[in-house]
Amino acid sequence: MEIKTIASRPFPDQRPGTSGLRKKVTVFQKPHYLENFVQATFNALGGVDKKQIAIGGDGRFFNQQALQTIIRMAAANGIKKIMVGLSGILSTPAASCVIRKYRLDGAFILSASHNPGGPRGDFGIKFNTANGGPAPEKVTEKIYKESLALKSYRTIDNPDINLDEIAVFTIGDLQLEVFDPVKDYADLMAEIFDFDLIGSLLRNPDFSFRFDAMHAVTGPYAEEIFVNRLGAAADSLLNCTPKPDFGGGHPDPNLKYAAELVALMFADKAPAFGAASDGDGDRNMILGDNFFVNPSDSVAVIAANAHLIKGYKNGLKGLARSMPTSCALDAVAKELKIECFETPTGWKFFGNLLDAGRLSICGEESFGTSSDHVREKDGLWAVLCWLNLLAVKKLSVNNIVNEHWRKFGRNFYSRHDYEEVDSKIANTIAADLRDRLATLAGRKFGALEVSRADDFSYRDPIDNSLSENQGLRLIFSDNSRIILRLSGTGTKGATLRLYFEKIEKDPAKMNLDPQTALAPLIKLAEELTDIRKLTGRLEPTVIT
Ligand code: VG1
Ligand code: CO
């Protein structure tokens, strides 16, 4: 096996964002672009000689080609073993599961998550470390530094490997195993949840359920778990064949992009339960009959009821949420008398707390929920949590959430996204507000009094690392919040996110529409930022 050293030059734009490196497919298709990033990652790890990794992706366009490139580079860099998901498929939570189960040194996950795919769509790559979680900031910064200093990468000449059959190959000293990407993950789910109980619910003719894989990675997982293991009717599953362009859709499980499921669930005689997941299977949306469960509520409900689920019956160690996620989870932590951490946006910030045994369940407002069973957010896990709770509590989704609100109060919550805004304008809007923060504290806007205005920074309690500039916060005297952040996952222009929260303890006011309940905060944020005028948008691109 002749190792070739290919001369290359750094690309200046390979700093990983909230979740890996995401760019247009056409950027990744540039000669040496992917190779540089992969070599920079290997270098940042101090070399990968004799290491063992998993690779796979969400099946999007360019997945197959990228996998073959990584396999050649892995062989040239001395990797001992690679596990590749059959047909190149591996969901993000399943990658985390196999790293941990087989004690691998890490994994490359090829995905741009919920971003659209196809030749004109997005591609992405992220590296997860030996704990199964996304590389922490100190590793991603090292990768970025290595990418800026890169002069060459190593590869070999080798024909493409057939990844469509379970098999073991040898390439020089590298052992390559094409493995079933579904089985280990499904086995883990069976350890956590009561499959007999969930199975009897799913087979009950009075119960109806729909799961929408959005033509993305969870299709094969959903078929194995819901149909083969739990006995659900095959027609409960929608769009379960992964497609390179996600069927032309946007594999983002929210009220706008999961339109097919949303239409079913908000119709007359809707199913009792509906759920969807995203491109790489780490996000989830939970719906009841004509009812949307806000992701911030979902994680709070799961945490409050976790003792009813086999895997958590011995209690929870702690809880955590990203800063913009509503404080509904904090109320649960208080009741359970356990810690609740507030971290910056992105799953990588939960890793240290999970590894240190300080944390059992965590979540983000962006449809991400999970626990210490892996080190990633996990879409199907969240769906199974809800099914398990429905089976135990014998209540509707709507009733479970309302019961929760009556006990803990309702945290009205909404996120407004302005997508593909001119980067300069978006940066100016954020910078202007940041500059005015100091003058806002103490000011009154109608009934709203600002008690605190800052740019969120986070000191990791385990390794003491500091992450600054994680989102602008206005916190009001009644604990309402307005938050402004720039997205770190987009590939075109900039995405501005405005987040709104208001806590309501009066049961008589709990059934308002969130947009109505939050209207004064929304109006104030729009006035303070002048976002509509400056972006030239009449309304946000997506409202959740
Ligand atoms: C978004 C979400 C964040 C999530 C991240 C990755 O990041 O807000 O909560 O962790 O996507 O999720 P940003 O920087 O665009 O706000 V995924 O499913 O895209 O890997
Ligand atoms: Co995702």
Task: Supply the DSSP string of 93-137, one letter for each residue.
Answer: HHHHHHHHHTT-SEEEEE--TTS--STTSEEEEEEE-TTSSBPPH
In the CATH hierarchy, which fold is given to the domain comprising 3-180?
Answer: Alpha-D-Glucose-1,6-Bisphosphate; Chain A, domain 3 (3.40.120)
Q: 444-445 and 52-57 as β-strands: parallel, antiparallel, unpaired?
A: unpaired
| Shortest-distance atom of ligand 1 to CA 279 | 18
Q: What is the pLDDT of residues 414-446, one digit of tens each?
A: 999 999 999 999 999 999 999 999 999 899 999
CATH of domain 185-408: 3.40.120.10
In angstroms, rounded to a whole number, what is the distance separating the alpha carbons of residues 529 and 540?
13
Q: What is the pLDDT of residues 122-180, one digit of tens each?
A: 999 999 999 999 998 899 999 999 999 999 999 999 999 999 999 999 999 999 999 99
Band of the pLDDT at 536, cuts 50, 70, 90? confident
pLDDT of 491 strictly over 80: no
Least confidently predicted of 58-67, 392-401, 509-518, 532-541: 532-541
Nearest ligand by distance to the CA of 346: 1
Give the helix ranges, DSSP H, for 350-499: 351-355, 379-393, 397-408, 423-440
In angstroms, rounded to a whole number, what is the distance separating the alpha carbons of residues 536 and 538?
7
What is the model's pLDDT at position 488?
A: 78
pLDDT of 530 strictly over 90: no
Q: Cα(367) to centroid of ligand 1, in Å?
A: 9
Q: Is the CB of 344 under 6 A from ligand 1?
A: no
Mean pLDDT computed over 73-86: 97
What is the model's pLDDT at position 303?
A: 98
Mutate to test the pocket of ligand 1, among 21, 417, 467, 489 (most ligand atoms within 8 A of CB): 489
What is the model's pLDDT at position 7?
A: 96
Q: Cα(281) to centroid of ligand 2, in Å?
A: 6
Q: Which one-letter amino acid corresponds to residue 283?
A: R
CATH 3.30.310.50 residue ranges in the chain? 410-543
CB of 158 within 8 A of CB of 379? no
Point out the residues that are catalytic.
113
What is the model's pLDDT at position 524?
A: 95
| Shortest-distance atom of ligand 1 to CA 488 | 14
Q: Is the CB of 122 under 6 A from ligand 1?
A: no
3-state helix, strand, coil in the chain (%, to 5): 35, 25, 35
What is the model's pLDDT at position 493?
A: 83
CATH 3.40.120.10 residue ranges in the chain? 3-180, 185-408
What is the model's pLDDT at position 19?
A: 84
Cα-flanking dihedrals φ and ψ of residue 95, to 5°? -60, -45
What is the model's pLDDT at position 38?
A: 98
Q: 167-171 and 174-179 as β-strands: parallel, antiparallel, unpaired?
A: antiparallel
What average pLDDT does the chain have?
Answer: 95
Q: How many CA atoms lie within 13 A of 303 on its CB side?
A: 36
pLDDT of 410 strictly over 80: yes
What is the model's pLDDT at position 492?
A: 78
| Shortest-distance atom of ligand 1 to CA 366 | 9
Structure-derived torsion over alpha carbons of residues 527, 530, 533, 536, reported in degrees to the nearest 10: -120
Least confidently predicted of 382-391, 457-466, 479-488, 532-541: 532-541
Nearest ligand by distance to the CA of 368: 1
pLDDT of 485 strictly over 80: yes
Q: Residue 219, Cα to own-chain centre: how many angstroms?
A: 17
Tell me which of 3.40.630.30, 3.30.310.50, 3.40.50.970, 3.60.130.10 is the CATH number of domain 410-543: 3.30.310.50
Q: 0.95 exceeded by the pTM?
A: no
Q: What is the pLDDT of residues 357-404, one digit of tens each?
A: 999 999 999 999 999 999 999 999 999 999 999 999 999 999 999 999
CB of 40 within 8 A of CB of 15? no
Residue 492: name the closest of 10, 62, 25, 1 by CA: 25
Q: Is the CB of 372 under 6 A from ligand 1?
A: no
Q: What is the pLDDT of residues 24-54, one digit of tens each?
A: 999 999 999 999 999 999 999 999 999 999 9
Q: What is the pLDDT of residues 455-469, one digit of tens each?
A: 999 999 999 999 999
Band of the pLDDT at 490, cuts 50, 70, 90? confident
- Give the closest residue (by CA) to ligand 1 atom 3: 346
Residue 115: name the closest of 370, 362, 420 by CA: 420
CB of 315 within 8 A of CB of 332? no
CB of 376 within 8 A of CB of 95? yes
Q: Is the CB of 460 under 6 A from ligand 1?
A: no
In angstroms, rounded to a whole number, what is the distance separating the alpha carbons of residues 188 and 167?
23
Mean pLDDT computed over 521-525: 95
